[in-house]
């Protein structure tokens, strides 16, 4: 687990998704550690953990960086009302929910910046 994190810390290009495969191992170690110290955990500490983690979980799952989803939903409504003839996303590839949120609307051109690797 630590080797993977160290290995992925060396390159200049870092993304959080690179360590997703080791999450089950991290969760297993965390749960084992919590079980080992459960007898000494005070009730106020559990309350603190809940009061800290519940709002943070809500924020990161419902609010943080959801702009691209809101824009795709807005575009879907605009397309359904025939106010849009085409869409060009001037963003890096795969950074929008593109077709998954606009699926089922009348067919219009949906384009985005491509991300083909430089072959030359």
Q: What is the pLDDT of residues 10-57, one digit of tens each?
A: 888 888 888 889 999 999 998 888 787 777 777 777 788 889 999 999
Number of helices followed by number of strands (H, E) in the chain: 5, 2
Provide CB contacts within 8 A for 94, sequence distance 6+. Answer: 115
Does one domain contain both 43 and 71?
A: no
User: Does pLDDT of 62 surpass 80?
Assistant: yes
Is 1 a domain residue? no
> Is 105 found in the same domain as 72?
yes
Q: How much is the pLDDT for 12? A: 84
More confident call, 94 vs 30: 30
DSSP secondary structure string, 22-36? GHHHHHHHHHHHHHH
Residue 75 lies in a domain: yes
Candidate from 7-16, 59-68, 76-85, 103-112 with smallest mean pLDDT: 103-112
Q: How many domains does the chain have?
A: 2
Residue range of the domain that includes 29: 18-62
Question: Is 77 within the bounds of a domain?
Answer: yes
Is residue 73 over pLDDT 80? yes
Asked whether residue 46 is assigned to any structural domain, the reply reads: yes
- Give me the residue label for tokens 């991300």: 115
pLDDT above 80 (res 119): no
* Per-residue pLDDT at 59: 95
């Amino acid at each position: 687990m630590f080797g993977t994190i160290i290995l992925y810390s060396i390159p200049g290009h870092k993304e959080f998704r690179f360590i997703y495969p080791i999450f089950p191992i991290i969760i297993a170690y965390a749960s084992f550690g919590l079980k080992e110290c459960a007898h000494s955990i005070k009730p106020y500490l559990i309350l603190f953990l809940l009061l800290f983690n519940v709002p943070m979980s809500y924020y990161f799952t419902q609010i943080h960086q959801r702009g691209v989803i809101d824009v795709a939903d807005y575009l879907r409504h605009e397309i359904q009302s025939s106010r849009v003839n085409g869409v060009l996303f001037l963003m890096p590839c795969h950074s929008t929910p593109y077709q998954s949120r606009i699926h089922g609307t009348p067919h219009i051109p949906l384009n985005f910046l491509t991300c083909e690797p430089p072959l030359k």
